[in-house]
Every structure is written in C-alpha cells, then in structure tokens.
C-alpha cells in the first residue's frame, strides 16, 4: 500500500475544521430574553441527551468525510493487487515512434513505418480507459507530436496516423531519456513507455546507457519495446557526394566524388551510378562492377554547371527497398570567376625572380592566350601597394613573403575576412615573424599558428623534410589518399618555419576565430599547412615559401592541385553552409536588401502549396536566412520575390542509418532484462501481452464514492436531526 | 397627564366598538350606589319586568289591581332591580410581561386592555378599580365610578415599570379577602406561574361570589416558538440561562405550552370563569369586541 500523492495526506489535518467550526459556533448565538422559560427547560430536559448524541454523530461523520477525502486525494494504491474490481488503473504513458529513415524499408507492400504506426495505435487501444499518453517521434532527437500526456487518446491516434517519416538517423538514447524524464515527476501508479522501432543496431549504439536508464527506473516505469519489420539483407546507398576540386566555375567540367556503399550482406554487381545537375534528366554515369558486403567504392563523375548561381547536384543508384539512401544531393554555387590578389613581398628584378611567379602560374595553368578566358584571374601587387588596394574586389588574397604591413591594412584585412574573404599566407626570409605572431596571431587570431623558429638550411640540399605520405584527413588533401592522384611526398623542404598552433582557449579571445586545423603534415608529424575559419572567411598558413627559395614543392606537379584546392576551399568557404546534415539548421548570410523579406522555402518532397515562410532577419548585424526544418534529405529552395533571389541548399542524411544490421541477439536478450521486448507483426494482439504486466489498483475511486455516500448521509441526518421536534 | 398616554392606552377604535357592546355583569352584583344618587337615577333603577300569577304568600302590595279589574285574576307585578357593579381590573406587572416580539410588549398590550376596559366601565357609570401586581399588589387605584378617574388610572398605568417576579395566586387570594362586594374581577396576565395555585386563587374569588374574567395575554412568539439556529434564552425572573437549538425542541415546547393552557382553560371552565386567550399580535379592538360580543351572547339577564 502506498500513496501517489503522499503530501496530500496532510489534508487530513482538515479534520480539525468541523471541530473548530463546532466550537466557534457555540460562541455565536442569538440571545433572547424570554418569559416562558419553564416550557423551554422542560423541553430541553427531555431532548438534551438526544441532541448531544446527534451532535456527536454529525461531528464524527464530518470528520470522517474529511479524513477520507484527504485519503482519496493522496491516491492510495496497492501495487501488488491482482484484482480489477475497481477497473484497471489508468496508465500514464509515453509513446515513442521511430521515424528515422531506416523505417522506410518496405517489404513490397508497406514500410516498417506503416507497421510501426499500426503497432502504436494498437498500443494506445490497449491502454485502460482514462489513460493518458504523450507521443514523441524518435530519431536522433525526440520530437514531441504530443509532448505532454493527453487524455484525448483520439488525438494521440490522429498524431500517430499523421506522423511523417524523416530522413534523420536513429539514436534512441535521447528519446528514451526524454520519455523517462517526462514520466519521472508524474504521480501515476502505472507509467509506461512504448517504443516502436525497427531492430536496427545503429539506433541502439548507446545500448549501455539506455539499459542503465531503463534499469534505474524499472520499478517505477514499465517499458515496452515493439520491434516491427522483417530482416533486410540487401541495401546499397550513396554514402557520400562532394565537389572534388573545391572550385565550381561555370561551364567547366567539375569532378564530383560519389561514394557508394554496400550496406547489405550480399554482393552487388553492376551498380549504375548516375549524376544529374539541377533538373537535367541525365548526366554522367558509371557502372560499378562489384560491391562486396560492407565495401565503399568512390567514383568520379563529371557535370557542368551551366549558369551562375545555385545548382543541386544529385547522385543516384537504382532503387532498392530503402529509398531514402538511393540518392544524395549537394548544392553547389557556380561562379563565373575567382579573383585572386597576389601580394609579392619580394618582387625581384625579373618576373621569374618574383616570389609569386610560380604561384601565379599554378593558379592559372593555361597558355598566355587563354588567360583571359580562364576562370581564375590573378592580380599581383607589391607589399607597399597592398594598402591602396580594395580587398573586397578579390575572392582570395595570397601573402607571399610579405614582411609586414600597416595597422590600417590589418583592419581592412580583418573586415575582408569577416565578410567571407580568403587568405593564403606563405612565409619566407623577409617575413617579420614578430609582426605575424604579435599582431596577426596573438591579437587578431587570424593565423591558425604562430611562426616558430625557422628550421633547416636553404643553402644545402642534403638535409630536408618531406610531407606525410598517407592518412590525409583534411578535405583539401584527402585527394592524395588515392595513390592514383599523384603524391606530395616527393617535395623536399630545406628550410621551414615551425608552426605553433593556437592554444585551445584562443577562440574565446577573438569571437570570429574558428578552431585551427592541420591541413598537411611533415613526415615527422609537425604541421606543414594549417588553416582556420575566421569570420565568414578562412585563412591558410603554409610553413615554407611560395617559390623555390626554401623548398621544391612549387615545381612538383602536386603543387598545382594543392594550390587550386586551397583556393577552392577559400572560395567555397561561404558555400560550406549550403550543405547541412539532415536535421541541422541551415544558416546563410544574404544580401542586406533582403532584410525583413519573407523567403518561401520548399523542401525536396514538398509541393508549392506546403511551402514554409521564413523571414530574413538581422542576427548580430548580419542579414541571415535560417531554416531549421531540414528533416528530409535533398535540395531545398528559398525564394524571395522582391528583389528576386533564389538560394538553394541541401540536406544530407546520415549514411550510418543505411546500415540495416539488426540488433544482435545477445543485446536483445540483455535489453529484455530491463524492458519487455516484443516482435510485433500485424497479427499479434498487444493487449494480451501488455495487460499481463499491468497489475495494481488505485483506491481513490471507492474512497471518493464512500465520501459521496457519507456526505449524502450527513446531509440527510443533519436535516433529520434539525427537523422540528 | 399628557395626551399621548391617553392616546396610546385608549385605542379609539377599541373604545368605539366596545361602547356599543357594553360590559354587562353575568351574575348578580351588589351595586353599592343604590339610593345614593339623585336625578337622573332616582333611587333604585326599578323597571317593570313581567307579570306573574299570584301565589299564596306573595306580598299583596305588588298585586296589579288594574289587571285584576280587567281579568278578575290576581297577578303580581315583578320588577327588576338594576344596580351597578364594581369591576376590579388586575394587571400583571411582572417582568415576564415585558416580552414583546412585535410592536407591543404583553404589558403594553395589557395596559391598553386595562385602559379600554376601565373606560368602558366608567362610561357605563359602573365602578372600576385598577391594580397592578407582581408578587404583591404594587399599585392599586381604588374603585370609582367617576369618569374623570380615567385620567388618574391611565396615569398610573403609564407610569408603572414591571420589574419583579410574579405571584398571581397570592394576589388573587388577597383580593378575594379584601374585596367584599361581589363584582367582576378581570385578570390580565401571562400567568407564568404555577397554574394549580392560580386556579386555586380563581376558585377563591369565585367562592367569594365574584365573576372572574381571565385575559391570558401571550406574545405570538410564545404560541409559535419560531426561533432558529443557536439561541440562548435568558430567563426574566431569575431562571438560569438555557442555550439550545429551539427548532429541535419546538414541538416539545408547544406540547408543554398547550398543555399548560389547556389545564388553565379547563380549570377556568370548571369554575365558570371566562378564559380569554389574548394574542398580542391581534389588534386590541378585534380581541375586545370579539370577547364582548361573546359575553353579550352568553350573559343571562
């Protein structure tokens, strides 16, 4: 026997009320000066005893009513009771419906999600009358369709019927945690969690934590896990799509890298991979002859972006039973040209002596005649001319062996980065390391690392450092993971600056500075190239010269690719935000004339009628468009009518979700110790399974009825006793 | 004496109606004024009443010779002697008479009643004496048939303030001893005393040859006992307070009270005493004319 609202038992103190009222009433009376006292006295003598007994009976009844009322409000309950005399105790439940995209696996007739909805409705049907339930969608987050338990079970059914599958991944831990937290504080005798999911192993990757939570609350909250859907051994998915070069010029063939993974347990042969740009019906395609189970194959496909602006690019493989991962879309912004400002710190007397000579050719690797039509345009200035140059005219600036520059230039450089410009820094013999370290690194945190002491000797050729040969982690250098793409290892570095990365807490000093990342390392492990995001821009810092003074990288074939990829990374910096993981908020800076306008945003599967409106707002003084409802994978389009503007962006589903491997049998057994696990199929009657678990009775109802009866008796007795006698 | 007292005590409507009805003695009374007044009432008020056939032993002086001459039969002329009577009006002035739920207390009502009666009696040139008593006779205005006495009577009535306890029986016994001449004794009281003793007193008066009229003056509250809620009853005549819920003992009270009145009425009937229940809620003129009409109907001449 326990009490669900034990605090309300204190209400029994109200038993004092009728006694106090009785005592107070005895002091409150009418006074009558009366002549015919002997008759009153005679009557009172006859009735006194009876009246006293009647008073006592009424007082006792009133006290009893109050005590019972307090008892009923405190909701006494007997958990071990097996009787259902007073009806089944109401359940307060939370229903979790998995809507991650693996629930979209179809058996040819209906998807796992369709089955899950049926199972969820059955679970609600099986609740005793008067129960309440919340409905949450569980993917990698828990979305509340009905966040708090409602007694309107029809509303819950409606919410389930109208629930939509998302392209999110599944991680059931947060959803289960949320359900437990929701129920924990509630005073209900029976609390139940229903989780309807497929048995996908990735959803249970935090199984240990989930089990711990369930185990801790086992006595209080009963959990029922309904596994729907049958085993699926075959699934191919497009697990990656990216622009290989980083630069996306108009009307030039752009290489896209597509990763196709066999998530199934059987070999797949002759998988046709296609690439489509925008709404073009067909594009480049390639056949992957063999994909072994678990294998990921990267293929390169080419596409052209015909016009300037945003283009969705989609890679597809033939449809299988899980549709969501058979295509993947990225959005690229096609640019007409990329303008690069080369700041030469050591122009030399002859053009070929200049610090930026090789760099300039690496950026524009075409004959002199074709330079005009090439999409990268370079302008070379000296360090002195830098102060007079309008930085905003350029997409990227290269500082090559520039000693130092004025404070004004530092300021304009800062503004330039903040607005999204790119900066490439090559040190050299003329560099004023103090200026770089104190001003650019320490004060403004523009550089990802400080320049340490120079190492090595450029005058000899015996001792040199080389670059790493494998395990390239940065997207700029990831290309060289593929041995067919050439090598960086042949370059020799005779003299280098030691790059000393920013301390962990530097970001706090300058809000705009992003974390410093190593792009490329020496074979020794020391960083050779580092970068950091700064404002909306990005800064790359090399550790050696841009010409052959200190190293021979500029004359190696890989230099061209490296420089172009770095430039691509700088130019693309603003467009990184165009591609977000499913579920992450899309945020983009837009032109200031759009402030206050409404953008119509349509998703991948949405018709024009269901477009959502988002207003362009000023956030920290920056006109920004935000859109958080990126639950579906694919291309989104935001349109502003006046002034006309179109922004496209894309959401990519988590490829881990494509892995349909089932929860291991031993894990399932482990889970069964802390929850009831059922393999649900349309024929299973959930009610029978669940009702066996529901024992325990609340007694508030019979007590409340007793109170009502006593109140009626009290009223009648009070009338009867006070009738004229 | 101010006019107001007379107005408040002498209800014009009551007096007007009562005058027409008159207050006659029901039994033989001993008029004390016989032969004492001159014109317009010379000597006895002797009026011819009827003829009766002569029977031996009758005084021959009363034979009507004219009738004998016409019919040759002896008839005796019978006369009726009219006399006046003395009425003693006794008003209970004990504290319990102070109770009044409405406009008037029982005592005020009783005073008005006493005033009207005495006016009526004096107006008929009968004699009235008015006494106010509680345990003993507090104030006694001796008999008088002078109409002007009415002012003195009313002054005395108006001036009296009830205070003490009551002892009706004792007072009645005293009156029976003191008043020698047979007359009418009118008692205006709530009779909250031992009814056995009261009845004994009445019996004493009756044995002395008086006609007794009992005006049992009661407040409507005493008839109905309409109190509700918790009430503390404070006794007027040194009875301890009682705290009770009156509606719960109402029936019992009314039973007791009715029994009390029944005993009184039966006792009065046994002694041929008019027992008149006076409810102070009833207008005085209604009550008085009602009783006088009844009295006129039942009075034997």
A408 lies in the same domain as A275: no
User: How many CB pairs below 8 A link A and B?
Assistant: 103
- pLDDT at position A540 is 94
3-state secondary structure of A422: strand
Is residue A348 left, alpha or beta, with left meaning phi > 0 and alpha meaning psi from -120 to 50?
A: left
d(CA A699, CA A706): 11
Over range A548-558, report the average pLDDT: 90
Mean pLDDT estimate for chain A: 85
> Are A29 and B231 a contacting pair at CB < 8 A?
yes
Report chain B residues whose CB lies below 8 A from the CB of A47: 248-249, 252
d(CA B246, CA B229): 7
HSE-up of B143 (CA within 13 Å, CB side)? 22
pLDDT band at residue A723 using 50, 70 and 90 as cut-offs: confident
% of chain A exceeding 70 in pLDDT: 95
> Are B239 and A41 a contacting pair at CB < 8 A?
yes
A36: closest chain B residue by CA? B192
Q: How far from A460 is each of A54, A457, A550, CA to CA, in Å?
A: 120, 6, 10
CATH number of residue A162's parent domain? 3.40.50.410
d(CA A342, CA B68): 182
Strand B211-218 versus strand B274-279 pairing type:
parallel
Choose among A28, A30, A33: nearest Cβ to B236: A33
d(CA A275, CA A277): 7
pLDDT tens digits for range A260-283? 999 888 888 999 999 988 877 778
Q: Does the beta carbon of A34 lie under 8 angstroms from any beta carbon of chain B?
A: yes
A295 lies in the same domain as A356: no
Q: Which of residues A269, A300, A335 is at a domain's end?
A: A335
d(CA B253, CA A282): 111
Q: How many other CB atoms are found less than 10 A from the CB of residue A463?
A: 11
Chain A: closest CA distance from residue B16 (Å): 33
Question: Both tokens of residue A215?
Answer: 């185990």
Chain A: closest CA distance from residue B252 (Å): 5
A646 lies in the same domain as A676: no
d(CA A268, CA B290): 127
Chain A: closest CA distance from residue B201 (Å): 21
Chain A: closest CA distance from residue B96 (Å): 5
Question: Both tokens of residue B184?
Answer: 């009418």
Binding-face residues of A in 40-59 toward B, CB within 8 A: 40-44, 46-48, 51
CATH number of residue A306's parent domain? 2.60.40.10
Q: How far from A366 is each of A253, A361, A376, A380, A400, CA to CA, in Å?
A: 16, 8, 10, 17, 22
> Are B252 and A46 a contacting pair at CB < 8 A?
yes
Chain A: closest CA distance from residue B248 (Å): 5
d(CA A689, CA A5): 29
Q: Which of residues A575, A598, A627 is at a domain's end?
A: A575
> Are B190 and A35 a contacting pair at CB < 8 A?
yes
- For residue A399, cis peptide bond before it (omega within 30 degrees of 0): no
- Going by C-alpha positions, the residue among A471, A502, A475 that lies closest to residue A576 is A475
d(CA A560, CA A304): 22
- pLDDT at position A710 is 93
Report chain B residues whose CB lies below 8 A from the CB of A38: 192, 239, 256
3-state secondary structure of A151: coil
- pLDDT at position B41 is 34
Dihedral sign computed on CA atoms, order B146, B152, B157, B158: positive
Question: Both tokens of residue A305?
Answer: 């972006």
Is residue A696 left, alpha or beta, with left meaning phi > 0 and alpha meaning psi from -120 to 50?
A: left
A546 lies in the same domain as A673: no
3-state secondary structure of A252: coil
Q: How many other CB atoms are found less than 10 A from the CB of residue B224?
A: 15
- The β-bridge partners of A688 are none
> Are A31 and B247 a contacting pair at CB < 8 A?
no
A381 lies in the same domain as A437: yes
d(CA A235, CA A659): 8
pLDDT tens digits for range A586-637? 888 888 888 888 888 888 876 655 678 888 888 877 788 888 888 888 888 8
> Are A35 and B249 a contacting pair at CB < 8 A?
no
Burial of A270 (0-12, 13-18, 19+ CB in 10 A): exposed
What is the gyration radius of the CA atoms in chain A, in angstroms?
38
Burial of A201 (0-12, 13-18, 19+ CB in 10 A): middle
HSE-up of B33 (CA within 13 Å, CB side)? 17
Question: Both tokens of residue A40?
Answer: 């009153």
The residue segments making up the domain with residue A374 are 338-575
Question: Both tokens of residue A630?
Answer: 């990126």
> Are A47 and B249 a contacting pair at CB < 8 A?
yes
> Are A40 and B233 a contacting pair at CB < 8 A?
yes
Chain B: closest CA distance from residue A724 (Å): 5
- pLDDT at position A372 is 85
C-alpha triplet B166, B169, B172: angle, nearest 5° = 110
Choose among A25, A34, A40: nearest Cβ to B230: A25
Report chain B residues whose CB lies below 8 A from the CB of A26: 230, 243
pLDDT band at residue A694 using 50, 70 and 90 as cut-offs: low
A410 lies in the same domain as A504: yes
A54: closest chain B residue by CA? B248
Question: Both tokens of residue A346?
Answer: 């050591």
Chain A: closest CA distance from residue B176 (Å): 27
Whether the pLDDT of residue A79 is over 70: the answer is no
Question: Both tokens of residue A171?
Answer: 């991680």
A68 lies in the same domain as A106: no
Q: Report the side by side order of strands in the sheet with A296-304.
A: A236-243, A253-262, A296-304
Q: Does the beta carbon of B245 lie under 8 angstroms from any beta carbon of chain A?
A: yes
- The β-bridge partners of A194 are A95, A224
A222 lies in the same domain as A95: yes
Question: Both tokens of residue B149?
Answer: 């006495």
Indicate the Cα dihedral angle B118, B124, B128, B133, nearest 10°.
Answer: -20
- Going by C-alpha positions, the residue among A566, A518, A604 that lies closest to residue A362 is A566
Q: How many other CB atoms are found less than 10 A from the CB of residue A87?
A: 12
Residue predicted with more confidence, B83 or A92:
A92
pLDDT tens digits for range A420-442? 889 999 999 889 989 999 888 88
Q: Which of residues A543, A575, A607 is at a domain's end?
A: A575
Report chain B residues whose CB lies below 8 A from the CB of A44: 242, 244, 249
> Are B236 and A46 a contacting pair at CB < 8 A?
no
Interface test with A, best of B134, B233, B237, B279 (most A CBs within 10 A): B233
**Cβ neighbours of residue B227 closer than 8 Å, sequence gap 6 or more:** A30, A32, B221, B246, B247
Please state the pTM of the whole predicted model: 0.57
Interface test with A, best of B245, B251, B254, B261 (most A CBs within 10 A): B245
3-state secondary structure of A647: strand
Report chain A residues whose CB lies below 8 A from the CB of B229: 29-30
d(CA A283, CA A312): 13
Domain count, chain A: 5
Q: Does the beta carbon of B66 lie under 8 angstroms from any beta carbon of chain A?
A: no
Report chain A residues whose CB lies below 8 A from the CB of B110: none
d(CA A490, CA A496): 16
A376 lies in the same domain as A283: no
Chain A: closest CA distance from residue B232 (Å): 5
Q: How many other CB atoms are found less than 10 A from the CB of residue A128?
A: 14
Contact indicator for A20, A62 with CB cutoff of 8 Å = no
> Are B237 and A35 a contacting pair at CB < 8 A?
yes
d(CA A623, CA A620): 8
Choose among B106, B236, B250: nearest Cβ to A34: B236
A389 lies in the same domain as A536: yes
Strand A309-316 versus strand A376-382 pairing type:
unpaired
Q: Does the beta carbon of B257 lie under 8 angstroms from any beta carbon of chain A?
A: yes
Give me the domains of chain B, ranges plus CATH numbers: 3-27+84-296 (3.40.50.410), 45-82 (no CATH)
Choose among A34, A37, A722: nearest Cβ to B248: A722
Whether the pLDDT of residue A500 is over 70: the answer is yes
pLDDT tens digits for range A110-138? 889 999 999 899 888 888 888 899 999 98
d(CA A674, CA A671): 6
Helix/strand/coil (H/E/C) assignment for every residue in chain B: CCHHHHHHHCCHHHHHHHHHHCCCCCCCCCCCCCCCCCCCCCCCEEEEEEEEECCCCCCHHHECHHHHHHHCCCEEEEEEEECCCEEEEEEECCHHHHCCCCCCCHHHHHHHHHHHHHHHHHHCCCEEEEEEECCCEEEEEEEECCCCHHHHHHHHHHHCCCCCCCCHHHHHHHHHHHCCCCCEEEEEECCCCCHHHHHHHHHHHHHCCCEEEEEEEECHHHHHCCCCCCEEEEECCCCCCEEECHHHHHHHHHHHHHHHHHHHHHHHHHCCCEEEEEECCCCHHHHHHHHHHHHHHHCCC
- The β-bridge partners of B131 are B90, B140
> For each of chain B's 301 residues, which pLDDT tens digit applies?
455 556 667 777 777 777 766 666 555 555 444 433 333 333 333 556 678 888 888 888 888 888 889 999 888 887 665 567 788 999 998 888 888 888 888 988 998 888 888 888 888 778 889 999 988 888 888 888 888 888 888 888 888 888 888 888 999 999 888 888 888 899 999 888 888 999 999 999 999 888 899 999 999 988 888 888 888 888 766 678 888 888 888 888 898 899 999 999 999 999 989 999 999 998 888 888 888 888 888 765 4
Chain B: closest CA distance from residue A725 (Å): 5
B192: closest chain A residue by CA? A36
A67 lies in the same domain as A175: no
A50: closest chain B residue by CA? B248
A552 lies in the same domain as A621: no
């Amino acid at each position: 026997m326990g009490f669900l609202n034990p605090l309300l038992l204190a209400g029994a103190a109200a038993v004092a009320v009728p006694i106090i009222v009785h005592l107070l009433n005895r002091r409150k009376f009418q006074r009558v000066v009366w002549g015919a006292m002997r008759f009153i006295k005679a009557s009172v003598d006859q009735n006194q005893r009876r009246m006293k007994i009647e008073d006592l009976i009424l007082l006792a009844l009133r006290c009893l009513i109050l005590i019972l009322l307090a008892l009923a409000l405190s909701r006494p309950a007997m958990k071990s009771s097996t009787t259902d005399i007073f009806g089944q105790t109401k359940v307060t439940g939370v229903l979790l419906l998995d809507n991650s995209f693996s629930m979209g696996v179809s058996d040819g007739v209906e998807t796992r999600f369709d089955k899950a909805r049926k199972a969820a409705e059955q679970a609600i049907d099986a609740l005793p009358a008067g129960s309440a339930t919340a409905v949450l969608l569980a993917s990698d987050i828990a979305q509340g369709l009905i966040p708090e338990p409602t007694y309107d079970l029809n509303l819950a059914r409606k919410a389930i019927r109208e629930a939509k599958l998302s392209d999110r991944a599944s991680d059931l831990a947060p959803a289960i945690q949320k359900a437990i937290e929701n129920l924990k504080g509630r005073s209900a005798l029976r609390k139940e969690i229903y989780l309807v999911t497929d048995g996908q192993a990735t959803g249970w990757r935090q199984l240990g934590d989930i089990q711990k939570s369930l185990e801790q609350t086992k006595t209080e909250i009963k959990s029922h896990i309904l596994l729907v859907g049958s085993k699926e051994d075959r699934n191919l998915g497009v697990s990656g799509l990216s622009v290989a070069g980083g630069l996306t010029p108009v009307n030039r063939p752009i290489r896209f890298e597509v990763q196709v993974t066999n998530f199934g347990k059987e070999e797949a042969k002759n998988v046709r991979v296609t690439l489509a740009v925008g709404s073009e019906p067909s594009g480049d395609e390639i056949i992957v002859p063999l994909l072994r189970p678990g294998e990921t194959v990267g293929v390169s496909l080419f596409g052209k972006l015909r016009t300037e602006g945003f283009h969705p690019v989609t890679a597809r493989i033939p449809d299988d039973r899980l549709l969501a991962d058979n295509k993947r879309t990225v959005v690229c912004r096609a640019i007409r040209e990329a303008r690069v400002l080369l700041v030469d710190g050591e122009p030399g007397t002859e053009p070929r002596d200049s610090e930026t000579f090789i760099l300039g050719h690496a950026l524009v690797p075409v004959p002199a005649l074709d330079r005009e039509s090439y999409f990268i345009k370079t302008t070379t200035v000296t360090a002195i001319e830098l102060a007079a140059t309008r930085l905003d005219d350029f997409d990227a600036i290269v500082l090559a062996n520039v000693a130092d520059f004025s404070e004004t230039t530092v300021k304009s450089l800062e503004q330039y980065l903040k607005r999204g410009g790119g900066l490439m820094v090559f040190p050299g013999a003329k560099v004023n390391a103090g200026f770089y370290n104190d001003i650019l690194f320490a004060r403004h945190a523009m550089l990802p690392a400080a320049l340490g002491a120079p190492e090595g000797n450029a005058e000899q050729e015996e001792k040199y450092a080389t670059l790493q040969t494998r395990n390239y982690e940065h997207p700029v250098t990831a290309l060289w993971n593929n041995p067919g793409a050439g090598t960086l290892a042949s370059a020799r570095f005779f003299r280098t600056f030691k790059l000393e990365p920013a301390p962990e807490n530097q970001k706090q000093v300058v809000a705009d500075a992003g974390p410093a990342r190593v792009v490329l390392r020496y074979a020794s492990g020391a960083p050779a190239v580092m970068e950091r995001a700064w404002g909306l821009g990005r800064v790359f810092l090399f550790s050696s010269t841009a010409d052959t003074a200190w190293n021979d990288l500029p004359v190696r074939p890989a230099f061209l690719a490296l420089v172009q990829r770095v430039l691509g990374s700088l130019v693309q910096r603003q467009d990184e935000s165009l591609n977000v993981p499913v579920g992450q908020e899309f945020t983009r800076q837009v032109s200031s004339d759009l402030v206050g306008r409404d953008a119509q945003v349509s998703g991948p599967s949405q018709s024009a009628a269901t477009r959502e409106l988002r207003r362009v707002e000023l956030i920290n003084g920056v006109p920004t468009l935000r859109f958080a409802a990126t639950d579906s994978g694919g291309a989104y389009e935001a349109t502003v009518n006046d002034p006309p503007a179109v922004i496209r962006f894309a959401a990519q589903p988590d490829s881990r979700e494509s892995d349909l491997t089932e929860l291991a049998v031993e894990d399932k057994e482990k889970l069964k110790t802390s929850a009831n696990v059922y393999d649900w199929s349309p024929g299973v009657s959930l009610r029978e399974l669940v009702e066996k678990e529901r024992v325990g009775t609340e007694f508030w109802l019979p007590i409340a009825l007793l109170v009502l009866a006593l109140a009626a008796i009290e009223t009648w007795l009070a009338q009867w006793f006070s009738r004229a006698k | 004496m101010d006019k107001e007292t007379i107005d408040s005590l002498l209800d014009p409507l009551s007096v007007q109606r009562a005058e027409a009805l008159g207050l006659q003695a029901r039994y033989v009374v001993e008029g004390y004024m016989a032969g004492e007044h001159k014109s317009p009432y010379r000597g006895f008020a002797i009026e011819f009443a009827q003829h009766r056939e002569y029977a031996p032993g009758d005084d021959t002086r009363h034979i009507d010779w004219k009738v004998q001459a016409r019919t040759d039969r002896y008839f005796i002329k019978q006369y009726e002697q009219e006399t006046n009577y003395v009425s003693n009006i006794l008003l209970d002035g004990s504290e319990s008479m102070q109770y009044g739920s409405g406009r008037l207390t029982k005592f005020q009502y009783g005073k008005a009643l006493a005033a009207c009666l005495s006016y009526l009696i004096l107006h008929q040139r009968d004699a009235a004496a008015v006494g106010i008593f509680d345990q003993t006779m507090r104030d006694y205005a001796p008999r008088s048939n002078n109409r002007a006495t009415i002012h003195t009577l009313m002054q005395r009535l108006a001036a009296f303030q009830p205070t003490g306890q009551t002892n009706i029986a004792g007072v009645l016994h005293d009156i029976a001893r003191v008043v020698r001449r047979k007359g009418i004794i009118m008692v205006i009281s709530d009779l909250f005393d031992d009814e056995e003793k009261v009845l004994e007193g009445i019996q004493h008066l009756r044995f002395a040859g008086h006609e007794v009229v009992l005006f049992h003056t009661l407040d409507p509250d005493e008839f109905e006992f309409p109190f509700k809620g918790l009430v503390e009853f404070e006794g007027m005549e040194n009875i301890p307070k009682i705290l009770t819920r009156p509606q719960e003992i109402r029936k019992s009270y009314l039973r007791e009270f009715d029994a009390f009145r029944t005993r009184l009425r039966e006792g009065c009937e046994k002694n041929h005493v008019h027992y008149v229940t006076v409810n102070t809620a009833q207008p005085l003129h209604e009550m008085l004319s009602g009783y006088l009409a009844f009295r006129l109907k039942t009075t034997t001449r």
